[in-house]
Structure 1
Amino acid sequence: MRVLVVGAGEVGSNIAESLDDDHDVVVIDTDPDRVEAITYSADVLAIRGDGTSIETLLEAGIEDADLVIASTDIDETNIVVCGAAKAVGDPFTIARVKKTNLLRTWEQSKGAFGVDFMVCTDLQTAETIVRIAGLPGAHDVETFADGLVQMAEFEVEADSPIAGETVSDADRFESLTFAALMRDDDVVIPQGDTVIGEGDGVVVIGSRESVRAFAGSLTTDPTLADAREVVIVGGTEIGYQTARLFEAEGLEPRLVERDPSRARELAEQLPGTLVLESDATDIDFLVREHVDESDIVVAALEGDERNLLVSLLAKRLGVERTIGIVESGEYVDLFETVGIDVGVNPRLVTAEEITRFTRDQPTENVAMLESDRAEVLEIEVEADSVLFETSIRDAMADLPAGVVIGAISRDGELITPRGETVVDGGDHVVVFVDTAVLDEVTAAV
């Protein structure tokens, strides 16, 4: 497949690097430094030019392109790129946008702007925050099979009830599969006698009820098992969308916004949210408003340093859990080390959503774990799949190490996979895959 990626920032670079092994990838950017960087980091053809220009698109081979991904930081540019690509070729076009109103306009008239699929970074990020907030201690959460299946990753603390237990002892929940342990730089596929250690990242897949029960078992504080008091700091579009989604979940969050006019606007748009006009770095205000009594503080300001500062202040006041927006992907691990419990990088969230359109094997959903050390895929089983009308035990014999069948959805019902379980055609299978064997697995399933 010939793929044109316009924009060599974090989103475009991540996508290009994930495709360069199996596809003919061309990357276009106006910035010479980005063009040089992607040339050395990925096996792609990098062109310096304007992706909205017909001449540049022709130089990149638009007439033979199967897929065009417009991933610059400017919404309007991405839409124009898709329109220009459709004018001279017939590729499938994907546009990344930040403005939710553009997404709503496109949804009302599919195919508008020459865009076949649109990804809204701010909305995707807010949805990720709300999923993570819904599970105590979770560092990553994704849903599959129309919400029937949930995947979550948890870090095992020293005082965790499962630290030192074997997987067999920890597996006390119906409809739950222990998919992997992320240990240091290794991906460990657990066996029954595998011991769960302090600092391990435990990846589980199962029903929403079982994953929630497992999450609740990891904390010795029962008040954290059902977070209800949420404070959102920052009336950015991500902050607004996060509050709106919390309202839809039946919560009544508080939102802190410094700008008076923006605060009034948010108060009108969010009837179930208490909007507070103040500077969230004012400790006296935070104490006065009992922010220390909240279960979760979401830092959604513009600027990584400000989000880190708010998270550190919240921690100092006694807030148990903080979730912060981290725009620079290279800072996520650092910020999680010094002050933010969970850092959410909007660009990585967007790259995940786009990635599922680039698979040779069509995937219903994709989640990347630990900077793409592993992926969780939802795949509809067809006749040419190694899983088709085969037991899990027999199918696994034909798959490489580093694969776990986490869950099966059949006609709206969840099936917990066991060795003797036979997979039918049309089943939706949620699979954990070590990235090292991803290409081999996606070709087989």
Structure 2
Amino acid sequence: MLQPFSHRNPFADRSKTAGNSNDSGGTVVYVIIVGAGEVGRSIAANLEETHDVVVVDRDAAVTEELTYSLDVLTIHGDGTDLETLREAGLEQAGLVIACTDNDETNAVVCGAAKAATDVFTIARVRRRMLLETWQGSQGAFGVDFMVCTDLLTAQTIFRISGLPSAHDVDTFAGGLIRMAEFDIPTDSPIADRTVSEADCYDSLTFAALFRDDEMLVTRGDTVIRGGDRVVVIGSPDSINDFADEVATAPEEAEEVVIVGASEIGYQTAREFEDHGFRPRLIERDHDRAREVAEALPNTMVMESDATDADFLAREHVDEADVVIAALDSDEKNLLVSLLADRLGVDRTVAIIETPEYADLFETVGVDVAINPREETAEEIVRFTRTDHTEKVAMLEHDRAEVIEIEVAPESVLVGQNIAAATNKLPEGVVIGAISRAGEHITPRGSTTVEPGDHVIVFVDAAVLDEVVDLI
């Protein structure tokens, strides 16, 4: 099963570069991105400041617009054509990322690149079958690393569904440490309290909060308001205890209803099955309903129109802990989510294909909106981090990141306590947790960091490169 990236980047020490290094001291990598859709654009925007980026796309209007909106080179052409890749600078490239909306095209791009050079290749695919074929024979299709959009989205849904009020959940240090971002309801026990007053957990760090368009790194006297989103880092038990404190919903979703047997809906049901759940899945199309029913032995598949409020009431969907809308349009997913919310469902999760709708969905009552292309872009960007960055989680559309870094002997954190060491780091940084030889250490002012420790750090994206270089 493909898991979120949590290992050293095998590409980091084999980059080829015509330049030397970027301003933060990292290696400048020549990157070719094939496909200038939402995924390709997002990757290019994330890499443009630290790498030399070339974007290839068949649409001349798209490549022309991209030239003016991002600091990248563009090539109008077919990325499956070896001559086009050579025109884009294949011979000097360290990385080729194939992220068009067509699985076969992405595999062919990687194969063409591998036929001519030993460049490291990444392919985005939607179908899990291709991923499983590749996993059975790594290196197949000329792909060095493969990201499956539908499976990645299903895994994200599963992680988020387990914690009430959580918008983002990720694990670090092999599962020893967890990061989560929570909505704070106005009636929450910690609303209108300072961080010092709210912090009653042995193994938890309040890292930051998002309030409207503002991001605040928390201090002891920071007041938490209803409507804030709070980022906490700590042990899984402390995160669960915090979830119980801020919300009245059950700790773990037990009754799961998935609406739509799209590939994402199917993969989500399979993900819940793999973790011992018995979800219910609603699908309108007779043939598709029968197909997934045969493939999902522990899922109850119901053939019906999920936008039928009478059906939802008759099937007691109101008793569900979470309803996941995975239909084939944003509008239908919004409608299903609002119907479920009106029935009294504790938590709603909706798939959106238009990223601009995310804030709108959550404003009108959808608890969590997930964009598959955004999840894919983030996963690929994680893979391009420097060699000593172990794990990356992006927050609030890349406004901030939580990163896991192995502390180098020359790190500014070594040899002094955290209170003194953090004064050498820029504003917008919080050390949330430390992993040392398999032990979780909650950082306090007197804690001393040792070489080889893994630190989990909340970082304002604006100072990310500087922080990585210092640690």
State the shift of 1:374 in Å. Answer: 0.4
Instruction: Specify the alignment match of 1:91 in structure 2.
Output: 119
Which one of the candidate residues 230, 234, 249 is aligned to 2:275? 249
| One-letter identity of the residue aligned with 2:140 | A
Return the alpha-carbon distance in structure 2 between the equivalents of residues 292 and 174 of structure 1: 36
1:115 corresponds to 2:178 = no
Q: Which amino acid aligns with 1:298?
A: I
Residue aligning to 1:14:
42
Q: Distance in 2 between matches of 1:22 and 1:45?
A: 14
Q: Of the candidates 77, 80, 83, which is equivalent to residue 49 of structure 1?
A: 77
> 1:152 and 1:336 mapped to 2: Cα distance?
18
1:104 to 94, 112, 132: 132
Partner residue, 1:206 = 234
Alignment partners' CA distance in 2, 1:88 and 1:426: 39
Q: What residue number does 2:218 align with? A: 190
Match of 1:305 in 2: 331
- Bigger drift between 420-429 and 166-175 goes to 420-429
User: Is the 8 Å Cα contact of residues 356 and 363 (structure 1) preserved in structure 2?
Assistant: no
Which residue does 2:106 correspond to in 1? 78
Deviations 1:386-440 (A, max 9, x none): 3345532333122101011111122222111122222233322211100111121
Residue of structure 1 in register with 2:470 after alignment: 444
Mark the CA change 1:385 to 1:79 in structure 2 (over 3 Å): closer, same or farther: farther
Q: Does 375-384 or 335-344 show the bigger shift?
A: 375-384
- Structure 1 residues 390 and 64: CA distance shift in structure 2, 3 A: farther
Partner Cα distance (2:116, 2:417) in 1: 48
Greater shift in the superposed pair: 86-95 or 399-408: 86-95
Corresponding residue for residue 397 of structure 2: 371
Rounded Cα–Cα distance in structure 2 between residues aligned with 1:143 and 1:4: 30
Q: Is the 8 A contact 1:327 1:345 kept in 2?
A: yes
Q: Does 1:127 align with 2:155?
A: yes
Partner Cα separation in structure 1 for residue 455 and residue 437 of structure 2: 12
Question: Structure 1 residue 216 and structure 2 residue 240: aligned?
Answer: no
CA contact (8 A) 1:361 1:443 kept: no
* Equivalence for 2:447: 421
Which residue of 322, 325, 344 maps to 1:296?
322
CA distance in 2, matches of 1:183, 1:99: 37
SS state at 2:432 partner:
strand
Structure 1 counterpart of 2:355, one-letter code: G
Task: Specify the alignment match of 2:186 in structure 1.
Answer: 158
Instruction: Identify the range of structure 1 (142-151 vs 287-296) with the bigger mean alpha-carbon deviation.
Output: 142-151
Q: Secondary structure at the match of 1:93?
A: strand
2:386 paired with 1:360 = yes
Query: Secondary structure of the residue that 2:305 maps to in structure 1?
Result: coil
Task: Return the alpha-carbon distance in structure 2 between the equivalents of residues 21 and 298 of structure 1.
Answer: 37
Q: Is the 8 A contact 2:309 2:339 kept in 1?
A: yes
Contact 2:160 2:169 in 1 (8 A): yes
Whole-angstrom CA distance in 2 between matches of 1:123 and 1:272: 18
Deviation at 1:302, TM superposition (A): 1.2
Corresponding residue of 1:237? 263
TM-score (norm 2): 0.91
Shift of 1:290: 0.4
| Structure-2 change in CA distance of 1:417 and 1:328 (3 Å) | same
1:181 aligns with 2:180: no
Q: Deviations over 1:357-376 (max 9, x none)?
A: 22235422211111111011
From 254, 278, 283, give the equivalent of 1:228. Answer: 254
Of 419, 425, 438 in structure 2, the residue corresponding to residue 412 of structure 1 is 438
Moved more, 418-427 or 322-331: 418-427
Q: Deviations over 1:98-134 (max 9, x none)?
A: 1101111111111111111111110110000011000
Identify the range of structure 1 (162-171 vs 84-93) with the bigger mean alpha-carbon deviation: 84-93
Q: Kindly indicate whether residue 284 of structure 2 is the aligned counterpart of residue 258 of structure 1.
A: yes
2:6 maps to none
Distance across 1 between alignment mates of 2:380 and 2:35: 14
Matched residue, 2:8: none
Which deviations, in whole Å up to 9, do the C-alpha atoms of 1:291-329 show, x marking residues without a partner?
011111000111111111111111121212100101111
1:386 aligns with 2:407: no
Check the 8 A contact 1:400/1:441 in 2, yes or no.
yes
Using CA pairs under 8 Å that are at least 6 residues apart, name the structure with larger relative contact order, 1 or 2. 2
Runs ≥4 residues deviating over 6 A = none
- Counting matched residue pairs gives 443
Query: What percentage of aligned pairs have identical amino acids?
Result: 65
CA distance in 1, matches of 2:226, 2:65: 37
Flag structure 1 segments of 5+ consecutive residues without an equivalent: none
Indicate the residue corresponding to 2:4 in structure 1. none
Q: TM-score w.r.t. structure 1 length?
A: 0.96
1:15 Cα deviation (Å)? 0.9
Question: Does residue 282 of structure 1 match 2:344?
Answer: no
Q: What is the CA-CA distance between 1:79 and the residue it aligns to?
A: 0.9
Pick the aligned partner of 1:143 from 156, 171, 176: 171
Task: Provide the C-alpha distance between the structure 2 equivalents of 1:410 and 1:274, rounded to a whole number of angstroms.
Answer: 44
Q: Which SS does the other structure have where 1:422 is aligned?
A: coil
